[in-house]
Amino acid sequence: MSLESVPPKYAQLVQTLQRRIEAGDYPPGTMLPSENQLIQEFGVSRPTVVAALRVLREQGWIESQQGKGRFVRGRPALARAEQPRPGHAYLTTPETGSPGEVLEAGAQAVPNRVAALLDLPAKSRAFLRRRLVVRDGEPSEIVSFWLPLELSEGTDLTSADALADSIRGHLQARKGVRVDHIIEQITARMPSTDEAKRLGMPKNTPVLDVYAAVRDASGRAFVVVNVLLPADRHELEDAYPISSAS
Amino acid sequence: MSLESVPPKYAQLVQTLQRRIEAGDYPPGTMLPSENQLIQEFGVSRPTVVAALRVLREQGWIESQQGKGRFVRGRPALARAEQPRPGHAYLTTPETGSPGEVLEAGAQAVPNRVAALLDLPAKSRAFLRRRLVVRDGEPSEIVSFWLPLELSEGTDLTSADALADSIRGHLQARKGVRVDHIIEQITARMPSTDEAKRLGMPKNTPVLDVYAAVRDASGRAFVVVNVLLPADRHELEDAYPISSAS
DNA sequence: GGCTCAAACTTGGTAAAACAACCTGTCGGC
DNA sequence: GCCGACAGGTTGTTTTACCAAGTTTGAGCC
């Protein structure tokens, strides 16, 4: 009675080989059995074997060299960079998850850089929500969200309390906008005296200044997230795989 | 006489269809010609057509629905973030591509941070090649490569001239090491007086300090690339897609 | 007229075969 | 001993063929 559709043979082969690599039957660096050996062992045709091996290669489990064979790389740990980038993190984490203090929440004239990212005319106004985040009892970073005025209407962003919802979830639920990708720009500069005071920074210490333009599928930015990180307490980390082809 | 290898047929088909989508011959939302139509038009077999369409689907150009057909989505916004990250860029670009001056090339005591990344004991020695890169006639950035001593033996890295080969290509050819992935750490700090002088930096300007640990498939770092970027002239940019699932 | 169902389309998957390109040994001649 | 030719292995690409599964359409029946 099993109406459950059985997965295609090549997909089963992919799973089997993945499990063997993870179990250590095929240790990283060693050679995988050749196509002919796999054909014999599993009793399938060559196109089926090749289809499975192609999937494994595209997912980063193995590498192949014409004339030599296929080599095990291991589980593609960071196949797709999954570390939390700052822009993404602040966009999806509810404010209630970390203590802090709302510094500003209202319309303001936008800085030039934010205007350019949001594609607004220079010196126009936009909605700003700025928050000082506290970690371990000490001021840690300043997070600012810039939105076009029409996007801020009908939201809870003017509240002085921490938002229980993430900015992303909030905007998607209330305004129907969908995040497609984010472009981050990382700079360093000296903090203003006000910033240095709020962050409790020692003298002569720079800040990392991250601008994240949050864009929809058409490439239009509808939110800019700005994060100010004292360089003596924060650093940014990023990991990415290198394709052997290039 | 053309020894230039012609690309395989399915790859040519991929290119042709991509160009047609971009040119508007196949507008987004419309249906692509069926497999049989493509077989007739291009005079190739069905597996070749299917292989090309599979690539397009995996890259996000089209969607397919069994029983109905394949639908054009348009150019994939930024399928895989392909911007040059600093660590990768300096690892794969030959030094001869940009003018500059070799500052140091020899064994040195390693800084703590580099020792930790290379998994070397503190205060041990490693090979350092440091170079001042010049852009538009002005000093632009300082790039340093740290290698364990055994990896630097038998290479041209001690040369005071610019290397015609990339560091990555050099090491792969001479020592057989293969790059698998890179982990980058980005910090900001004030430059030392020596660094500020070499880079011709104005007073009170910080530098972006990027450490890139270049690792093989087993996770062992065998090169650390350090880049020092004056913050008044450089910023880092990174783009990444957001999975709609999360 | 409206419903049913079969035919004809679509994409998805498997099998068998052949050739090409590449790597690595071995065997031979020099 | 050294070097090249060659044989046998590997993966890469292409073709032919057939069946399965999903969708649409239209012909035929009620």
Residue-wise pLDDT tens for chain B (246 aa)?
Answer: 444 556 788 999 999 999 999 888 888 888 888 888 889 888 889 999 999 999 998 888 888 888 888 988 877 765 445 556 777 788 878 877 778 888 988 899 999 999 999 999 988 999 999 999 998 888 889 999 999 988 877 777 777 777 777 777 777 767 767 777 788 889 999 999 999 999 988 888 999 999 999 887 677 888 999 999 999 888 887 777 665 433
Torsion sign over Cα B192, B197, B199, B201: positive
* DSSP 8-state assignment for residue A5: P
A80 sits within 7 Å of strand C by its CB? no
Whole-number pLDDT of residue B77: 61
Q: How far is CA B122 from the centre of its chain?
A: 30
Do residues A136 and A67 lie in contact, with contact meaning Cβ atoms separated by under 8 Å?
no
Measured between alpha carbons, how far is residue A4 from residues A11, A15, A48, B66 in Å?
15, 18, 21, 18
Nearest to A141 by CA among A209, A79, A61, A189: A209
Considering only residues A10 and A156, tell me which one the structure prediction assigns the higher pLDDT. A10
Nearest-angstrom CA–CA distance, A4 and A7: 9
DSSP H helices, B24-162, are: 35-42, 46-59, 86-92, 112-118, 149-152
Highest averaged pLDDT of the listed ranges A48-52, A65-69, B91-95, B153-157: A48-52
Does B58 contact A at CB distance below 8 Å?
yes
Considering only residues B241 and A224, tell me which one the structure prediction assigns the higher pLDDT. A224
* Strand C, CB < 7 A, residues 33-62 of B: 34-37, 46-47, 50, 53
pLDDT of A1 higher than 60: no
Task: Give SS3 for A43.
Answer: coil
Nearest-angstrom CA–CA distance, A148 and A154: 13
pLDDT of A194 higher than 70: yes
User: How many residues are listed for chain A in this entry?
Assistant: 246
Q: Report residue B76 as tokens.
A: 């994939």
Residue type for position A152 = S
- The nucleotide lying nearest B42 (C-alpha to C1') is D14
A50 sits within 7 Å of strand C by its CB? no
Whole-number pLDDT of residue A3: 42
Instruction: Tell me if B77 and A186 make a contact (CB, 8 A cut-off).
Output: no
Considering only residues A82 and A60, tell me which one the structure prediction assigns the higher pLDDT. A60
Q: Which of B172, B192, B242, B244 to mutate to test the interface with A (most CBs of A within 10 A)?
A: B242
Instruction: Tell me if A184 and B237 make a contact (CB, 8 A cut-off).
Output: yes
Does B178 contact A at CB distance below 8 Å?
yes
* Residue percentage of chain A with pLDDT more than 70: 91
Considering only residues B59 and A229, tell me which one the structure prediction assigns the higher pLDDT. A229
Q: How far is CA B210 from the centre of its chain?
A: 15
Distance B215 CA to D2 C1' (A): 39
Nearest-angstrom CA–CA distance, A89 and A93: 6
Distance B67 CA to C1 C1' (A): 29
- The nucleotide lying nearest A57 (C-alpha to C1') is D11
A47 sits within 7 Å of strand C by its CB? yes
Which residues does A224 contact at the CB level (< 8 Å), separation at least 6? A114, A117, A118, A145, A146, A211, A212, A213, A214
pLDDT of A246 higher than 50: no
Considering only residues A226 and B104, tell me which one the structure prediction assigns the higher pLDDT. A226
Which residues does A10 contact at the CB level (< 8 Å), separation at least 6? A44, A48, A49, A51, A52, A55
First to last CA, chain A: 50
Instruction: Tell me if B206 and A190 make a contact (CB, 8 A cut-off).
Output: yes
Nearest-angstrom CA–CA distance, B186 and B226: 10
Nearest-angstrom CA–CA distance, B149 and B131: 18
Considering only residues A153 and A15, tell me which one the structure prediction assigns the higher pLDDT. A15
Strands (E), B100-235: 100-109, 125-135, 138-147, 181-189, 207-215, 221-230
Whole-number pLDDT of residue A2: 39
Which residues does B59 contact at the CB level (< 8 Å), separation at least 6? B76, B79
The pTM score is 0.72
Q: String of b and e for B62-92 (b: at least 16 CB within 10 Å)?
A: beeeeeeebebbeeebbeeeeeebbbbebbe
Distance B71 CA to C6 C1' (A): 28
Measured between alpha carbons, how far is residue A91 from residues A30, B168, B180 in Å?
42, 36, 30
First to last CA, chain B: 53
Distance A4 CA to D21 C1' (A): 14
Whole-number pLDDT of residue A245: 43
Query: A61-64, long-range: CB within 8 Å, 24+ apart, which pairs?
Result: A61/A17, A61/A18, A61/A21, A62/A32, A63/A244
Average pLDDT over chain A reads 83
For nucleotide C11, give the residue with the nearest CA to its C1'.
B66
pLDDT of A81 higher than 60: no
Which bases in strand D are touched by protein, i.e. have an atom under 7 Å from a CB? 9-18, 21-24
Q: Could you identify the residue written with the tokens 């936008």?
A: A110
